[in-house]
Structures are given as structure tokens and as C-alpha cells.
Amino acid sequence: MSDSIKHKIEELSRQIEEHNYKYYVEAQPSISDYEFDKLLEELIRLEKEHPEYLRADSPSQRVGGQVTKEFKTVKHKYPMLSLGNTYSEEDLRDFDDRVRKALNSGYEYVCELKYDGVAIGLTYKNGVLVQAVTRGDGEKGDDVTTNVKTIKSIPLKLRGHDYPEEFEIRGEIFLPRKVFDEINKEREEIGEPPLANPRNAAAGTLKMQDSSVVAKRNLDCYLYAVYADNLPYKSHFESVKAAKTWGFKTSDSMQKASTIQEVFSFINKWDTERSNLEFDIDGVVIKVNSYEQQRFLGFTAKSPRWAISYKFKAQQVSTLLESISYQVGRTGSITPVANLRPVLLAGTTVKRASLHNADIIEKLDVRIGDTVFVEKGGEIIPKIISVDLSKRPENAVKVEYITHCPECGAMLIRNEAEANHFCPNEAMCPPQVKGRMEHFVGRRAMNIDSLGSETIAQLFDAGLIHNSADIYSLRKEDLLKLERMAEKSATNLLAGVDASKQIPFERVLYAIGIRHIGETTAKKLAFYFKNIDALKSATLEQLLEVGDIGETTAKSIIDYFADPKNAIIIEKLRESGVQLALSEEQLVNASDKLKGLSFVVSGVFNKFSRDDLKKAIEQNGGKSVGSISGKTSYLVAGENMGPEKLKKAEKLGVPIISEDDFIKMLNPSPALPSGERVEKD
Ligand code: IVH
């Protein structure tokens, strides 16, 4: 019997990994997402019933759940060197000359894309992924195995049989551009500055503590080099091709070149085509193909003599800096923008470039009237690289950074350790006020889609709304006075405003736009404090009691409620009938049963999603925290919980309870999210 279960688990794991491979490596899925989820659920169920058959390479490990507080430092078996960079045809010819002189016999190159991500080394033993380590300083890196296991295109178990018993394969982890754009959109929603580029975002994601968050980020990975003590292949090209048959995602664009001329054609082709790729590359890597010749050429202190990278030139032009203007963002942050004489760059006309902040202006010593070099790099907005001093006119004007807000006239402030100046006039500064109202009506906040940003601007300019609460006193006759506002749109708008009064408290809390309060934090606070008055009177210590709320967020909440202007807004929202407390139904499900207790939730559960379980903890007055410490009251253990966590809980004597034990703690009137009740027996 148990043999057949074991067999079933193995067979399901094999099927699931096959589907992962088809979807993420070959981009040719053969079943629906629904069917896939069913297979995975079945596997998780069987592994739960028979934990003795749960393997480290099971595809159920890809959903994440393990939290790493500190990444272990690991010494690389083969040092992780970097490549010498070249930027010109001439440099590349010099490289080729050096190679030719050293190798008397013939040789060929392999040309590859230079992925702009984070280098990773993956170790496999007997076909199973055992360790993933970042580059670090080249000698030692961080063990990020748990996070890497969530990347679906990286095989946990290899295909075929002809791979070496133990080997390392290296490649680049990256974030596809589309995913990057989505992350930045989310950050914008909670008033966080955007991440600079996909590379930084990938590096940040890989070092996140909660692997279930990493799993949702959709990182991807191309592999480009195999290392082993006795590789059965004679060349780099052959081993990468073999790695492809073992299930790795390797690049189809890899190409052999027997002359430097062919290398140039490869470079030129990808310099133009790179904009069509779904990820960023910053150049091309050229490697001598034969391992024997690689060994002969050897290494310098830092990099191999048998390989080099050619970095694409960011396209540059020079143009005149006509003036500088200053933009004010929703959070009051000031960005200086260069107004340029329009010029064509990489296929688009550039009129403006970001100057970032006062320090950058000073460092560039850029003056109005200067001719400046503008470049389009990985970032979308072009930037000014340098000044062409030979063209500086005598009357070029030194930039006097503004001292007052261009929108409202308030004196700007600059906090120590912050690069940007900002306008402190939160309450009256037009772009800040309008920005806050736009956030308030947003889809994930009060969802008043009949009120767009243009109408907000119109209403604000007409003096009809000054803050989010004013939206609730709009009258039809006022609306009809606005340009382009007909009877029907006015009725729609008011209906939308009215409907928003039913939006639950946790979303209202997100909508009012307290700095650093995103959707998740808003939910936590709502269930913990239950109404806005309790939240308003919470002390710093009490706020810090709520799981995952840090100093910055707690202070931001205190500051918000300390401002009398905000108190007026809250009162007005209350009078208008906006939900400032949990609903009756939500309260019925809430209790104080878990007050004073803190829980760590880990693994996958049957009756709850992990998020719902955390919500249930908070709804019942408990605290859900990320990592185990001596203070943790309970570890709620689900399927596939990380062994490290289990060990730590045992070491610290933290009681380990199951999902069912947890439900029992809430009996006799268990409070579950979404109004569900557990059947009493
Ligand atoms: S080979 C001994 N191939 O570039 C050198 N590296 O500066 C082994 N990179 O740390 C590296 N694409 O993160 C190689 N096709 C490619 C690459 C590549 C990107 C990165 C890698 C490395 C850095 C070298």
C-alpha cells in the first residue's frame, strides 16, 4: 500500500515538473492552469498524509513559505570571477589579437547575451538541486537556496541521466520587464519611490526573507556555464547544449563565431534587437569555446583571459539645456527636470531629462545654456551624463536650487540622509492634495471610478474639494457648472461616491493615505484595532505590538493622527457615513481570544490560505510575526514547512501546533475569515 503511495507521489512530482518545464522553459504549456493546480493540490495532500515521502526536490517546495532571517555565507568551490569589459571595436580586436598570439592553433568563439541581472551558482548532486549561492565577493556568497527553489524555470530535479554526479551550473537571475513594471505600479500606489531598474529589483527579491513573496515575483533564470571536476565535454558550447537536455533554460541565441568579424555581426544584431527582448541585457559575452584552450589561456587576478564582455553603448546625444523646472510628487518630493532643446535619441524625441536632486546638479556643475550629453540607459527616462565644457557660453547661468515649492510657495525642507528636498505643505500644496485624492478614489481604495484624475483637478481648481472628505459633500448643481460635465456623468459620479460608503474599514484605512500604509498593513491594523478611534489613540508601543509594524510605520501613523487637519477629515468622513470600523459581521467573527499571543505561520494549509490564517490570528487579537524567537507563543505548522524553522522552534521550546489545533484554540465560537464557521462536533 505505502509503496503505491510512494509511487503515486513520485509520479505526480514527475508530471508536475514536466508541466513546469513545458510552461517555463519551453513556453509551451500542455494543460490548463486549473488542471495544473489540481495536480499540485493532490501532491500536497499526499505529502501531508505521508510526510515520510516528502522530498527536498518535490515541486510542492516551489510555493515557498520558509523564512530566512539571515542568509548563510558559503565559500564557492570554483571562484566566481567577473569579466573584463570592452566598449569599442578596437578593444575587442585587441582581445582577439591577444588570444591569437597565445593560441597558435585555430580557435573559435561562442557569443552570448550578457544578461543584466544577478549571478547565481547552482549545485546539483545526483540530479537534485542542493544549493544556490549568489556571487558575493567572488570567493564567498550568500546561500539563497530556499528563494531560488521558487523560480519555476530552475529544475529541482534534472531530466535524463547523463549529467555529472556533482556539478555547478551558473547563470543569471533576472526580473522580466513586465513584472518590474507591475512592482513599480504597486510601489507608486503606497507612495514608495520606484525601484530604479529590473536588476536592482531582482537583487532585492532574491534577498527577501519570506520565500512565499519571492515565489509571487516571477523571477526567471538563464544558465550559461557548467563547472565540474571531470566534465565529459571538450567545449563550453557542448556542455551548455547538454545542460539544456538536463532541463535548464539556456539561451537559444548562443552562437559560435570563427572570426572576430562574425563576433561583430552578433553584437550589431543584438544591439538593435535587444529592445524586443522581454528582459534587459547590457552587452554580449565572448568566450573561447575549447576548454583546453581556456585552461591554456588561464586567468588574470580578476577575470579569465579566454572571455570578455562587450558592453553596449547607451545611446548618447548632445543638446542644449534651456531651463530647469521642478516637479512636486504626491508625497511632496521635489524632482528637478531639465528642459532640453528637442533632440532625437534611440528613436524618440527627447525634450526632458531627470536631474534627480540638488547634489546631482552640483556634481555635474550643469548650468542653464550649457550643451549637455544625454543618455538613454536601462532606465526609461533619459539622463544627463556630462557637460560639454568646450561649448559653455560665457553667460551660462549657475543653477540656484529652489528654496520654495513651485506649486504652493512653502519653504522646502531637506531631511538629513535624504537626497530630495520636499514640500512640507501636505495639506494645501495642490499636486499633493490632488495626488492624495486620486489615491483615495483608486480601484483598490474607495473604488470611485466615476471620479477620474481630470475631474479631481477640475473640482479642486473650482474650489469644490480640498481633501478626500469633501468628495462626500459634492452636490449635483455644483458638478453641472463644470465644463464637460453633463447630467448623466454627474449622476454617475454621485452614485459612485454614495456606493463607496459601503467600502469596508480596512480599505478606507488604506485609502486615507497614511504614509507607509499599504493594503496589507491597513488590513492588519483594521483587524487589530477594529475601529479608527482605537487606532487613533494607540501609543507607539501599542502600534509596535501589531505584527510586522516597524518604527517608521508606527511613527507615520502617530504623525498622521496628531495633525488636527487629519482629525477634521476623519470626522467629516464619519459624518458622511464612510465605514470607520469593522462591520457587525466582521466583529462577530472577531475576538480577543488570542490577545497577547504571537504566532509564526509556516508551510501550506488545507483549511486556510496562509494569508487567511494570519488574518484569523489578527482578527482574534493575536499577533502574526515572520520569524521565531524566544517570545513566540506558537508555531502553526503546515505542509512543507522548512526544517530550519522546525529546528529553531524545538530549540527554543516554542510549541508547534497544527492547523486543527489552532482552530480548536478559537472554539467554541471559532472566528474564521470570510464569515465561515467550523462545524462543531
Ligand atoms: S560568464 C568567468 N556569461 O556578467 C566569467 N557572465 O562580469 C564567468 N553575465 O558575474 C561569467 N551574462 O553575472 C557570463 N552570458 C554570460 C553572462 C554573464 C551575464 C554576468 C555575470 C558575471 C558578470 C561578469
User: What's the pLDDT score for residue 190?
Assistant: 66
Q: Read off the pLDDT of each residue in 538-547 and give the average, rounded to a whole number.
A: 90
Identify which has the larger pLDDT, 142 or 415.
Answer: 142
Instruction: Determine if ligand 1 sits within 6 Å of the CB of residue 285.
Output: yes
Instruction: Determine if ligand 1 sits within 6 Å of the CB of residue 82.
Output: yes
**CA 208–ligand 1 middle distance (angstroms):** 23
**CA 71–ligand 1 middle distance (angstroms):** 23
Residue 516: pLDDT band with limits 50, 70, 90:
confident
Instruction: Determine if ligand 1 sits within 6 Å of the CB of residue 81.
Output: yes
Residue 304 confidence (pLDDT) above 80: yes
> Is 631 assigned a catalytic role?
no
Flag whether the pTM goes above 0.75.
Answer: no
Residue 108 confidence (pLDDT) above 60: yes
User: What's the pLDDT score for residue 472?
Assistant: 97
| Residue to probe by mutation, ligand 1, list 76, 81, 114, most atoms within 8 Å of CB | 114
Residue 427: pLDDT band with limits 50, 70, 90:
confident
pLDDT, tens digit, 9 for 90 and up, residues 331-359? 898 999 999 999 887 666 889 998 889 99
Q: What ranges do the domains of the chain cover?
A: 2-63, 74-183+195-311, 316-391, 430-502, 505-576, 598-666
Instruction: Determine if ligand 1 sits within 6 Å of the CB of residue 334.
Output: no
Identify which has the larger pLDDT, 381 or 581.
Answer: 581
The answer to whether domain 430-502 and domain 598-666 are alike in fold is no
User: What's the pLDDT score for residue 388?
Assistant: 94
User: What's the pLDDT score for residue 643?
Assistant: 78
Q: Cβ(606)–Cβ(641) under 8 Å?
A: no
Identify which has the larger pLDDT, 189 or 391.
Answer: 391
pLDDT, tens digit, 9 for 90 and up, residues 33-53? 888 888 998 998 999 899 889
Taking the chain, what is the end-to-end CA distance rounded to the nearest angstrom?
31
pLDDT, tens digit, 9 for 90 and up, residues 456-467? 999 999 999 999
**CA 82–ligand 1 middle distance (angstroms):** 6
- Residue 223 CB-half CA count within 13 A: 29
**Residue found by looking up cell 508606527 in the block:** 554
Residue 537 confidence (pLDDT) above 60: yes
Instruction: Determine if ligand 1 sits within 6 Å of the CB of residue 433.
Output: no
pLDDT, tens digit, 9 for 90 and up, residues 285-303? 999 999 999 999 999 878 8
Q: Which of 412, 222, 282 is nearest to 334 (CA)?
A: 412
Judged by phi (left if over 0) then psi (alpha if -120 to 50, else beta), residue 596 lies in left
Write the class of the CATH domain 598-666.
alpha beta
Residue 314: pLDDT band with limits 50, 70, 90:
confident
User: Which grid cell is 313?
Assistant: 553603448
Residue 379 confidence (pLDDT) above 80: no
Residue 674 confidence (pLDDT) above 60: no
Q: What is the CATH number of domain 2-63?
A: 1.10.287.610
Q: What is the CATH number of domain 430-502?
A: 1.10.150.20
User: What's the pLDDT score for residue 415?
Assistant: 79
User: What's the pLDDT score for residue 653?
Assistant: 86
Interacting residues of 416 by C-beta distance below 8 A, sequence separation 6+? none
User: What's the pLDDT score for residue 37?
Assistant: 84
Residue 378: pLDDT band with limits 50, 70, 90:
low
CATH of 505-576, one of 1.10.150.20, 3.30.1360.40, 3.90.470.10, 3.40.50.720: 1.10.150.20
Instruction: Determine if ligand 1 sits within 6 Å of the CB of residue 304.
Output: yes
Residue 239 confidence (pLDDT) above 90: yes
Q: Which of 8, 22, 77, 114 is catalytic?
A: 114
Atom of ligand 1 nearest to the CA of 119: 13
pLDDT, tens digit, 9 for 90 and up, residues 87-97? 899 999 999 99
pLDDT, tens digit, 9 for 90 and up, residues 178-227? 888 888 877 776 666 667 678 888 998 998 888 888 888 889 999 999 99
CATH 3.30.470.30 assigned to domain 74-183+195-311? The reply is yes
Most confident range, picked from 56-65, 432-441, 637-646: 432-441
Instruction: Determine if ligand 1 sits within 6 Å of the CB of residue 649.
Output: no
Q: Which percentage of the chain shows pLDDT scores above 70?
A: 95
Helix (H, G, I), strand (E, B) or coil at 231: coil
User: What's the pLDDT score for residue 678?
Assistant: 30
- Residue 501 CB-half CA count within 13 A: 15
Q: At what angle do helices 610-619 and 659-666 cross, to 10 degrees?
A: 30
* Alpha helices (H) in 246-354, listed in sequence order: 260-273, 291-297
Residue 551: pLDDT band with limits 50, 70, 90:
confident
Q: Cβ(236)–Cβ(225) under 8 Å?
A: yes
* Alpha helices (H) in 382-445, listed in sequence order: 430-441
Q: What is the CATH number of domain 316-391?
A: 2.40.50.140
User: What's the pLDDT score for residue 325?
Assistant: 95
Residue 281 confidence (pLDDT) above 60: yes
Q: What is the mean pLDDT of the chain?
A: 89
Residue 673: pLDDT band with limits 50, 70, 90:
very low
Atom of ligand 1 nearest to the CA of 80: 2
